[in-house]
A and B are shown apart, each in its own frame.
Chain A
Amino acid sequence: MQSYDVAENGLRGLNAALQAQSAETNQTHWEVQNPKGSHAIAVGLDAPIEVTVKGSTGYYCAGMNQRATIKVEGSVGPGVAENMMSGTVVVEGDASQYAGATGHGGLLVIKGNASSRCGISMKGIDIVVHGNIGHMSAFMAQAGNLVVCGDAGDALGDSLYEARLFVRGSVKSLGADCIEKEMRPEHVELLKDLLARAGSDANPEEFKRYGSARQLYNFDVDNAAAY
């Protein structure tokens, strides 16, 4: 296993070393010591390696990830796994605002709570939050699945496109054009798989599904007076 101390060797060296790994690398396991809340830890990775960050991080941890598995043994600042393409990011603690924003693919697991704007503009990523999420989550979310084992804050799924939202607890309020939808057997199956991969023992039957009412897709002549 490779070990890298951010306090001693600096952030640029860490990202350069991790980004230099190819698909055939033998250095498949990395441990990052002393992150001390630094920004942009383990960003832009593009190899099937495993990275464990031993502590909490600042902004944009694991951003733009492809194929790597990144585990943070602490909490993360704003924008964790932003624009992730594939791979897995697991946060043992809490995540600050806009976790998983614009993510195209892969799995983001937050074992604590995520704050506001979780999954904003998500485009195919799967996000599983073991705790609660804050306001304006999944705003303009286009594709992918957001699973919340706890409660959701205000304006969930505002201006939602085709992302699926599953919440086990309460939803403080739904955003414009977001509605509760029927949980069909295929949704329970999908949830069962996502929860298992995210290490959650929550019962998929207890979740409610939310999605787009598709009323904002096209111009409605009845709204002409509003413009």
Chain B
Amino acid sequence: MCGIVGLFLKDRTLEPELGAMLTEMLVTMTDRGPDSAGIAIYGAESDGSAKLTVQSDQPDEDFATLAADLGAAIGAEVTLRANDTHAVLELDGSKVEQARQAVRELRPGLRVMSDGATIEIYKEVGLPKDVADRFSLSNMSGSHGIGHTRMATESAVTTEGAHPFNTGSDQCLVHNGSLSNHNALRRKLKREGVRVESMNDTEVGAAYLTWKMQNGATLGEALESSLQDLDGFFTFVVGTKDGFGVVRDPIACKPAVMAETDQYVAFGSEYRALVNLPGIEDARVWEPEPATVYFWSH
């Protein structure tokens, strides 16, 4: 069991409150996932630059001179904004791949959480409220975001096992359910040259989507084909630069509730997660159909 929340704002005046709204939704889903929590937040975009969000178990040591070291390694200006165990590195958008490589060499212990023009992913082990507090998620603003609370079933409770997973530039995936063919799929992806770091089933799902898209599929097409190739139970919510999408497996036993008003589209594993959103009493509330891909975008 896990909890998923998602919020996509149509009303731009709500953007400063995105973090606060999502945090409340996330904490409500603690019962569904007390092990770990994570959030992908899509904030402001600055021209031509990309954001690389990294995580370290020794942030003080690792982050101290990281901006300067990385800047020297890739020959471009890098700024660093530390936030507890995470740091957001801003750099020239054309140097992302080079920077990922350089980070691996400069700080082997560092984990890259996400890259993209607007996405930042924060995730850690612990109660959702504690995770939200340590990153001050409620102070963050943005156009849309996705959160996940985890109750581990398929692999260890670790930062790497927490969701969301970055599936490509500005894209992420969260999952409620369990995939039963992840070992076979992991071997297949490895043969195709796709890196999968952990024994986690969702990471394989994320890597599968990345691989499909690298081979020319759109995100929608990759999700459609996941219905064929992934065995198991899943409600997936995917984030993109412009919005978010939802897909449930054909059996659809993992819960999902959507709500839409003129101001937002919201997703929750349970209706409880949505009850404090503005105007929820008059929102259109429904359950997404099984084996159907939904998308909302700006």
Contacts and interface: CB of A to CB of B under 8 A. Distances in A.
A115 B250 CA distance: 13
A58 interface: yes
Interface residues of A, number: 19
Given A58-B270, A77-B255, A97-B253, A116 B275 contact: no
Nearest to A93: B285
A180 B159 CA distance: 53
A58 B270 CA distance: 7
B270 A77 contact: yes
Contacts of B289: 134
Q: What is the size category of the interface that chain B forms with chain A?
A: 10 to 19
Nearest to B270: A58
B286 interface: yes
Contacts of B253: 97, 116
B275 A37 contact: yes
Contacts of B272: 36-38, 58
A134 B255 CA distance: 14
Interface in A96-136: 96-97, 115-116, 134-136
A92 interface: no
Nearest to B254: A97
Given A96-B255, A97-B253, A135 B271 contact: no
Contact of B271 (A77, A97, A134): A77
B87 interface: no
Interface in B240-276: 250-253, 255, 257, 270-275
A94 B287 contact: yes
B285 A56 contact: yes
A78 interface: yes
Main secondary structure of the interface of B (DSSP, over half): loop
Given A96-B287, A115-B287, A135-B290, A78 B275 contact: no
Nearest to B286: A94
B271 A75 contact: yes
Contacts of A115: 252, 287
A7 B64 CA distance: 47
Contacts of B273: 37
B227 to A, nearest CB: 14
Contacts of A94: 285-287
Nearest to A112: B286
B292 to A, nearest CB: 12
B252 A56 contact: no
Contacts of A135: 250, 252, 290
Contacts of A36: 272, 275
Given A94-B286, A115-B287, A37 B274 contact: yes
A194 B287 CA distance: 27
14 contacts: A36-B272, A36-B275, A37-B274, A38-B272, A56-B271, A56-B285, A58-B270, A77-B271, A94-B286, A115-B252, A116-B251, A116-B290, A134-B290, A135-B252
Given A37-B273, A135-B252, 18 more contacts: A37-B271, A37-B272, A56-B271, A56-B285, A57-B271, A58-B270, A58-B272, A59-B270, A78-B255, A93-B285, A94-B287, A96-B257, A97-B253, A97-B255, A115-B252, A115-B287, A116-B252, A135-B290
